[in-house]
Chain A
């Protein structure tokens, strides 16, 4: 049967295995420019503090962890939060205050801000503590549309996207299952 190659087509940093210390690797350059490891991606924090941007990125990875999906796809959604923050103080406060509180909880529990807590399980436990909050739900809800709705990630999941322009699947494997 015809199967999709789910391997990423671009080089990217190696992430460590599930549950390991999969911290996002990035560099903040003065001026608010954030550069991913190996220059794989970059973003500019226009309204949010660079640290807030970085923490939201780590949080995004921890909410919907996919080890084969590169940071840049999560960073795209975080950039949309930055866009919202440039347009309104209320939106900006949601993210800045949310991250400040999350960092405070992380420092209390582990002696380090959220994005420096080394184990995913420890970070997830911190997120469980705030999962009902509007801040968390805002981040989570945006990821559902922004991450999984991004056509660039679809091949990584074996989802082939639009088919009409290719004549559908009638000659491209709609019934090609061969292992039953």
Chain B
């Protein structure tokens, strides 16, 4: 395990240790690049995980103050918690469900395929499926994704079997137990899934991939990677030439330090990454770093989401086994005949009783609600996740008055559903209920969105510097040695769960940074 000096200006500083930062930092170290990962949260290893929904929520969630605005339902139900992400080493790869899907080919070029959608700020990615194919292959191998690399699919649990029976009755063709970063058989020193449930609380067996116990230890073994936990970066510093020179951060006790750096990579998820760039404003960059386009914080996407839960007259016990146990992919295609562009995936989801009470119908009370919970063990559920439209007004901005524990403006998250998002959600609710009705559901519930787990787009990738924040390598258009390495660089969101794409982009970026450093370009 390396330990680098604060004054060592030869290191690459990576801010964040999740799917983007954890992957990037580890890959850089494996390329021989001396790297410091700054992680705002603590380091909780597998022994610290509990099969306890609220307990783990309190232990690992990002609960720092945030505000919300806009007409999205999350702002009403969870006004102070717009995102449900992790503040800990491993980032949100600690609590993710494991779904690992590639973008469909057209989803790299949706401006071309969908045309001009009023109100949407659509743009083609400056990269495509061919460019990404080898990196996806590398990411799938690293994550051990089922149904790739000869790895068998996971066995289906009760919740999946209900979904599959309904899908078959409706004539859906692509329903299976998913492409999951959860070992279906022992692989690379980690065991196979024991069907615990509690994927969202940190996998107690380590069968689910996380940077926490896969990439980060691999990076640390090289002697080139230091992971500095409980170190929240407050500001990125730069010199007179406009190159970044290091980061100001607060340690566990709140004491502030500057870590010098040759290159800085931002991977703090789609609220903190733009917030950090905005909070790093200086006389030279009065609108924030890398913000000559004015697009930092804009085009916030969170996926069209919703859930359908259903009750049956016989037991289901959906809480047994993997949280996301299967998928219907038929609605994922772009088929504008349905009344919207883009597509959505239907993925089983189960919550324990504590979370079900909080999320089934937030704010609801009385017997309509409690009789649903009375039949908790007779309940099946699915999550609906689809492509949402980037809109410039959907944005992470600095709050004009509210400050955090360091005296810095907190982020405000503004979001309004686009008409396309609303049309897609209506369709998804209808199809989700139809799947369950086909196998005899007695009641179905169109459950509103949870706090956002797929936060995307606030430092988007663009061919032209005027359209976005970073180029095709995730390098900021404005500052050569400043990179964005998380989901905030997404130009558009696609229908798929984003982690695999974030990992593939980070692997590709690590390769690029290592080569550019060798050539002394950065």
Q: Which residues of A contact B (CB under 8 A)?
A: 1-4, 6, 18-19, 63-66, 68, 124, 131, 140, 144-145, 147-149, 153-154, 157-165, 167-170, 172-177, 179-180
Contacts and interface: CB of A to CB of B under 8 A. Distances in A.
A2 B193 CA distance: 20
B441 to A, nearest CB: 12
Given A168-B195, A169-B197, A177 B158 contact: yes
**Majority-rule SS of B interface residues:** loop
Nearest to A18: B367
Contacts of B439: 180
A180 B162 contact: yes
A169 B54 contact: no
Given A3-B315, A158-B376, A163 B54 contact: no
Interface stretch (B349-357, B447-455, B481-489): B349-357
B369 interface: yes
B50 interface: yes
Interface string B145-156: 000000000011
B315 A164 contact: no
Contacts of A174: 155, 157-158, 195, 320-321
Contacts of B50: 162
Given A174-B321, A175-B161, A163 B376 contact: no
B168 to A, nearest CB: 10
Interface size class of B (residues with CB under 8 A): 35 or more
Given A158-B315, A177-B317, 19 more contacts: A1-B158, A1-B317, A64-B369, A65-B367, A66-B373, A124-B366, A149-B54, A154-B353, A158-B377, A159-B319, A162-B51, A162-B198, A163-B198, A164-B196, A172-B320, A174-B158, A174-B195, A177-B315, A180-B162
Given A158-B317, A160-B319, A164-B204, A169 B51 contact: no
A147 B373 CA distance: 12
Interface in B318-347: 319-321
A168 B353 CA distance: 17
A153 B356 CA distance: 14
Contacts of A173: 158, 317, 320
B149 to A, nearest CB: 23
